[in-house]
Amino acid sequence: MDPGKQLHVAVVGVGGVGTQVVEQLIANPNYGFHLVALTSSKRMLKSTKDACINPVAWRDALDSSETPVDLSVVKSTLQELVKQGEKTLFIDNTSSQDVAELYPALLSAGINVVTPNKKAFSGEVVLYQGIVQASRSGRYLHESTVGAGLPIISTLRDLVETGDKIVKIEGVFSGTMSYIFNNYSSVEGSHESFSSIVKGARAQGYTEPNPADDLNGADVARKLTILARIIPEMKDEQGNFPLLHGYQSVETTSLIQAAPPSAVSNGDEFMRWLPEQDAHFAQMREQAANEGNVLRYVGVVDVKNKVVKAELAKYPKTHPFATSLGGSDNIIMFHTERYGKRPLIVQGAGAGNDVTAMGVVSDVLKLIRP
Ligand SMILES: NC(=O)c1ccc[n+]([C@@H]2O[C@H](COP(=O)([O-])OP(=O)(O)OC[C@H]3O[C@@H](n4cnc5c(N)ncnc54)[C@H](OP(=O)(O)O)[C@@H]3O)[C@@H](O)[C@H]2O)c1
């Protein structure tokens, strides 16, 4: 193996996505990955001088490990390798805010960071600024934070860095919302109640355990924050990044505004409450259909007007958001000066462990390629 091609990797979080990430790294035919450490939220497995992590039996070894997780140890191990001139990488496959807050220190130490975790890029601007500043020493890539494995962030960066001007980004960013409204408000016409569609989506695992966490629009607002901060024209006159409080600064239409606190905090309570909303949604669906439209929950970054919003909107039955979505697809339209009247469109599965891991591993390969 060409030593220049070796990358020392710590993988934090080996749940649905993280397991696929480890398997895709191990199976890669072209590059050698030295697994420095693997962790769940409780346990940790570390390579030592005498024994590397076994790529075949890593799961059993981690499950039986008695070493409690300590991310400061993971950091110092990677830091030692950086001092020896080696290339290192910290992959965060958790959804943890605490882990996200480690990125500035990791990057400052020359450790690269790759992650599908949205928290660091969609929260308070202070953390985001810290990451951007620290990236002079280490690089960070986070393709899978928007659209899972779909090339959304890399496309946006390519447009921006080649001098195109973004006019507007508009899309269906949530796989769950996509599934719900593709079924609830189809071009052919639908009659099933809103609560029944959500119940089906929950049963098939398309929603969070409490669908309130999908229907409040926060996940879409997080993705919009991530994109808006990459667009230079979204900065203010002083050059500050937009959306001071991250997703909480996005104009977000929650679909569960009327939900009582007990339903917001408990999935089963939420499902018992939801039928009360069926008449309200049915009225919106009927009105949209009478006008030749369907309902879609979309996110918009309107650069010209500096508006970032997540909302339930009406689209003509001939629009790609109405005609071309299936299952839990995401679809994102980039309206730019170069692309003129015909926007650049990226569409495909917006969730799933294997495609999300593909986005993570493709970021890893970007770091390792000469
Ligand atoms: N699944 C998708 O389709 C998808 C799509 C796009 C983005 N993402 C993002 O990908 C990330 C992972 O998602 P997932 O579905 O794989 O989640 P998951 O199955 O819940 O796995 C999360 C993993 O992180 C570990 N973990 C949690 N907190 C930790 C901490 N403080 N320190 C160390 N490890 C910790 C968990 O350990 P335990 O096993 O001990 O609990 C688990 O191994 C999330 O940020 C998610 O938003 C997922």
Task: Kindly state whether residues 197 and 333 are assigned to the same domain.
Answer: yes
Looking at the structure, do residues 111 and 194 belong to the same domain, yes or no?
no
Neighbours of 232 (CB within 10 A): 11
How much is the pLDDT for 6? 79
For 13, 48, 59, 219, 366, the CA distances from 18, given in Å and listed in that order, are 6, 22, 11, 20, 18
Predicted local distance difference test score (pLDDT) of residue 2: 52
**Is 83 among the catalytic positions?**
no
Q: Is the same domain home to 286 and 341?
A: yes
Distance 110 CA to ligand 1 centre (A): 24
- Whether 117 and 160 map to the same domain: the answer is no
CA of 98 from ligand 1 middle (Å) equals: 13
Identify whether residues 218 and 267 lie together within a single domain: yes
Tell me which of 12, 17, 71, 222 to substitute to probe ligand 1's pocket, judged by most ligand atoms within 8 Å of the beta carbon: 17
* pLDDT for the residue numbered 1: 47
User: Which one-letter amino acid corresponds to residue 183?
Assistant: N
Same domain, 306 and 344: yes
Active-site entry in 75, 87, 118, 223: 223
Q: What is the pLDDT along the chain (370 residues), one digit of tens a residue?
A: 454 557 999 999 999 999 999 999 999 988 889 999 999 999 999 998 888 898 889 999 999 999 999 999 999 999 999 999 999 999 999 999 999 999 999 999 999 999 999 999 999 999 999 999 999 999 999 999 999 999 999 999 999 999 999 999 999 999 999 999 999 999 999 999 999 999 999 999 999 999 999 999 999 999 999 999 999 999 999 999 999 999 999 999 999 999 999 999 999 999 999 999 999 999 999 999 999 999 999 999 999 999 999 999 999 999 999 999 998 899 999 999 999 999 999 999 999 999 999 999 999 999 988 7
Number of domains comprising the chain: 2
- 16 alpha carbon – ligand 1 mean position (Å): 7
pTM: 0.97
CATH code, domain with 318:
3.30.360.10
The confidence score (pLDDT) of residue 67 equals 96
Ligand 1 atom index nearest CA of 359: 6
With a Cβ cut-off of 6 Å, ligand 1 is lined by 12-18, 39-42, 69, 93-96, 98-99, 116-118, 144, 148, 351-353, 356
221 lies in the same domain as 300: yes
Sign of the dihedral defined by the CA atoms of residues 38, 10, 47, 66, in that order: negative
**Domain extent for 223:** 153-351
DSSP per-residue string spanning 219-255 = HHHHHHHHHHTT-GGGS-TT-PPS-TTGGGGSEE--T
- Whole-number Å distance, alpha carbon 144 to ligand 1 midpoint, is 13
Q: Are residues 24 and 81 in the same domain?
A: yes
Task: Examine the domain organization and report whether 177 and 78 are in the same domain.
Answer: no
CATH number at residue 35: 3.40.50.720
